[in-house]
Structure 1
Amino acid sequence: MMKNVSKIFSGTSNHVFLLNSNQELFGCGYNDRSKLGLGESRREEFEITKLTKIQNIPKGKIIDIQCGYFHSIMLIENENQNQNPKRKLYSCGYFQYNGLGKIYENTYEFTEIKSSLFENDNIVDFSVGYDHTLILTSKGKLFSFGNNYHGELGTGDTNDQLIPIQIELPKLRFNENISNYHVSCGYNSSFLYYSPFLFPFSNLEEDLIKLFRRKEFYDISFKTENGEIIKAHKLILKYRLNQNQNEIEKLKEIISKKSIKESNQIFEMIYSNRIINPKLYSEIKEIINLNEKNLFK
């Protein structure tokens, strides 16, 4: 039995890593495409049913590991505080699905993701999706690479990217320390957020309205005065309503007294950050002030 487990790392795939207090890393699960980083000699071993120590780990402190479907990415902090940059990313797995940040190179062990775009910049945050990755640096630059079938890289097209490419961001309202921002990858979606605000990689007003009107991905329900059901997304409501569960309960109470038409207008205001119906807005402004929460200048 493994003792002194300090962290467990998992993700969208069927493999997992465990880190102990001595900074020793172990992995188990499906090793297809060498995504456990066990080395070339074990690349044909697909089912690792026991915790196995990962050898040849880069020097430094392991901050985070995230697991994609065919790859894994590790964030290492250098022990030498005078060395710049202090944090670097390393990947292992299969290049064909574009998750490694390298050109045409299968990687059987964790090796550094090198790019002249951020070679002297610290990694503030990163996130791994099914087969795409986002990187946020201390200079406020955002990079992405991987599969772009649904436009999840934020490049404005659907072309895959084998190596990191810088993403042009809309001008944000907030000027606080970039370390307060975070990136998050879904299965085939991406977000940059500053609590309690959310920045999808697209036109906010139009795309969130489209999201509300779609039938999939709903995970919370509201009932109108006539018993009709309106479904929404907890993630969107969480950030729009100051991450406050009490505000969601207040919203449920308001919706329970409204028609289906009025309820839809309320949700469209919440999703789009626009005042569509001033009268209805006056009833919900206690829980969300749209004028004060414009996401862009």
Structure 2
Amino acid sequence: MTYRHWFSGKNSSLQCIDKPKTNLELQEIKTKEEIVKMSGSYNTNVFLYKNDLFRSTGKFLINKNPVKDKNDPIVLVNSGYSHHFILTESGRLFAFGSNGSKQICPQNSTMFNTPTEINFFRDNKLKVICITGGEFHSTFLCDNGDYYGIGDNTYYQLETNLLTIDKNKITLTEKKRTDFTLLSQNVKLVGEGVSTRHTTYLTEDNTLWIQGYNNTGQCGNSTDINKILPQKIEYLDNENIQKICNGFEVSLIWIGDNEIYTCGNNEYNGHSIGIKKFTKLDFFDDIFVKNVLVGSRHFLLLSQDNKVYGFGKSGCKFPFSGKPTEFKLPNYEFGLPLEIATSCYNFIVFPASGTSILSDFKNLYKNQEFTDFGINGVKIHKSFIEFRLNNKMENIQEKLNNYPKEDLDIFFYWLYSDEMKNHKLIQSICTKFGIENAREKKLKDDLVKLYNDEDSKDFKVLVQDEDDYEEEDDDDEDEDNFEEIPLHKFVLLARSGLFREMFKTITQKEKQINQIKDFSRKSIESLEILFKFFYTNKIELTADDDPQLTIEELNDSEEYYQLTKGSNLNHELLKIKKQFKLI
């Protein structure tokens, strides 16, 4: 099997996979493995594939996972202008590339040709959750909110805000931060970028801090100061900031569903008015944003309906212009969920992996199908909300009755999708339910726990033993011939279009039924494996399962059960084929 993606940009060091040394127009490229993340510098790209496979292309060439540990998978790859980081689930941190400005670690080496472990954070019992790489500096956000920096500090981009700064009294630090320096505390969001000379971060009190080089106004400051010490940006809706991105001479802030603000070099940022203050791009007023990224001099935006837009400047044959332009992806299959990634001088668009569970539950909420309860005008699925909040609806309603509809919509949307539109609001409500950290409460993790909780299963799928199949009408079959698979009704509703259609045909009198028949004529063993996939997005076999039978019976399941495109089922079946050498 091959996996498609679309690639464009500079390719002078062969950053693109298996392509000639040339600049690339947007084109489709195929790989044998499924890409889940990509980042890159000016001369090297790093790719993370499904199943913890790692590869880099360009100047620093790595053809296999250099930090492989089956119990500690890679969760993040990120880059600066000339250096790269690899982060694992447990918090192990590795880096390679240039260290000439000590942007990787305090060691004397000016170059790390292979990944080297950085032990500072683990030694200090800190866990890194986000990394950003600038032109000659790096920053690290820890799960406790501590924000560290290291590297070139020529432009004050690594100054601390821990003390009130008085420019008349402060003694500026050395040009290089030669050790890891605590820049701020209580940070919840940091500005992403690969070649920047400025840093941006948002603290828990919704204060937006920006510091560093401001030669084109990229720090959102209307004065002519070139080098800016930590300052607050207070004219934006900081409470609803979703993402912050920093380019070489530009900055971008995404607020709410579709509010995109940029500042900096007007040649790159797509608007024709003031550049030294964050200014809204009206182009996106009617486009709901899924993700937005900034390279060195270009912007990339993905909408909720899987359209990709770009604008900016590159000199690398990007199909960009001053105004946003929608990309046409060759051979794109309509409806296929997409992701985007960018490096300094190129970018990639690729099918989303493992996101169908979130997409399915988000769509269940947005479409308002089969809702059976309402709080202050917001319709919800009673058993799903009880499961997510681990409370009975009477208690939930009592705690939420005083919130307006707009706030409840934000909160419930997060419960269905994991997408935070207002972290402060969501966390304040979560506290009422004993949830200490809303960011750590993930739907996919809860669903795995739910599958293993037999007592909470409120619904049954009836499956007939194949030996009892008869030619008579299915509706007349004796239910004594059926076996039961306990499940949760809301999981079937979210994950399978077939079951949604079946529930739609149920009469009002039958609405309270707690079972439904499956007429696929697949074995109960195969269906149990499939229905577990509905919860976990994985096909998992036990020693008692027959791999050949499982593959034969589930091979058409994505189409038969009307699963979301990109559901990952076919990929999981392919893994089973490879594992048991059936191909």
Tell me the equivalent position of 2:207: 141
Partner of 1:104: 173
Aligned-residue offset at 1:9: 3.4
CA distance in 2, matches of 1:134, 1:246: 28
User: Which residue, 122, 125, 141 being the options, matches 1:75?
Assistant: 141
SS in 2 for 1:166: strand
Equivalent residue number for residue 152 of structure 2: 94
TM-score, normalised to structure 1's length?
0.59
Per the alignment, do residues 31 and 5 of structure 1 end up closer, same or farther by CA in structure 2, a change over 3 Å counting?
farther
- Following TM superposition, by how much is the alpha carbon of 1:201 offset from its aligned partner in structure 2, in angstroms? 4.5
Tell me the CA shift for residue 65 of structure 1: 0.5
SS in 1 for 2:74: strand
Q: Which residue of 1 aligns with 2:252?
A: 191
Does the 8 Å CA contact 2:192/2:244 hold for their aligned counterparts?
no
Q: TM-score, normalised by structure 2?
A: 0.31
What code does the residue aligned with 1:196 have? N
Contact 1:124 1:136 (8 Å CA) reproduced: yes
Per the alignment, residue 24 of structure 1 pairs with 92
Q: Residue 78 of structure 2 aligns with which residue?
A: 10
Residue type of the alignment partner of 1:136: L
CA contact (8 A) 1:19 1:25 kept: yes
Of 92, 100, 113, the match for 2:183: 113
Q: Deviations over 1:210-245 (max 9, x none)?
A: 17xxxxxxxxxxxxxxxxxxxxxxx97566422255
Displacement of 1:181 in angstroms is 2.9
% same residue:
23
Secondary structure at the residue paired with 1:32?
Answer: coil
Aligned to 2:115: 51
Distance 2:263 2:248 in 1: 15
Aligned to 1:62: 128
Q: Which amino acid aligns with 1:10?
A: N
Unaligned ranges ≥5, structure 2: 1-65, 161-171, 274-280, 289-302, 310-322, 325-583
Match for residue 460 of structure 2?
Answer: none
CA distance 1:136–1:16, change in 2 (3 Å): same
Give the alignment of 1:185-264 within 5 angstroms: 185-194=246-255, 195-201=257-263, 209-210=271-272, 240-242=286-288, 243-245=303-305
* Counterpart contact for 1:241–1:248, Cα < 8 Å: no
Q: Matched residues in 2 for 1:100 and 1:188: separation?
A: 17
Inter-partner Cα distance in structure 2 for 1:248 and 1:50: 34
Residues 70, 99 of structure 1: 8 Å contact kept: no
Q: Higher relative CO (CA 8 A, sep ≥ 6), structure 1 or 2? A: 1
- Partner SS for 2:272: helix
Distance in 2 (CA, whole Å) between partners of 1:21 and 1:210 is 43
- Distance in structure 2 (CA, Å) of the matches to 1:65 and 1:152: 20
1:128: Cα distance to partner?
4.3
Hey, what's the Cα distance between the residues in 2 that align with 1:13 and 1:208?
23
Residues 1:153 and 2:219 are matched in the alignment = yes
Cα 1:96–1:238 shift into 2, 3 Å? same
Amino acid in structure 2 at the alignment position of 1:182: K
Distance 1:31 1:123, change over 3 A: same
Give, in angstroms, the shift of residue 52 of structure 1. Answer: 0.7
Q: Which residue of 2 aligns with 1:169?
A: 235
SS in 1 for 2:146: strand
Residue identity matched to 1:104:
T
Give the residue type in structure 2 aligned to 1:166. K
Q: Whose Rg is larger?
A: 2
- Tell me, what secondary structure is at the counterpart of 2:154? helix
Deviation at 1:247, TM superposition (A): 7.7
| 1:256-295 matched pairs, under 5 angstroms | none
Q: Could you tell me how far 1:139 is from its partner in structure 2?
A: 1.9
Q: Give me the whole-angstrom Cα distance separating, in 2, the residues matched to 1:124 and 1:56.
A: 21
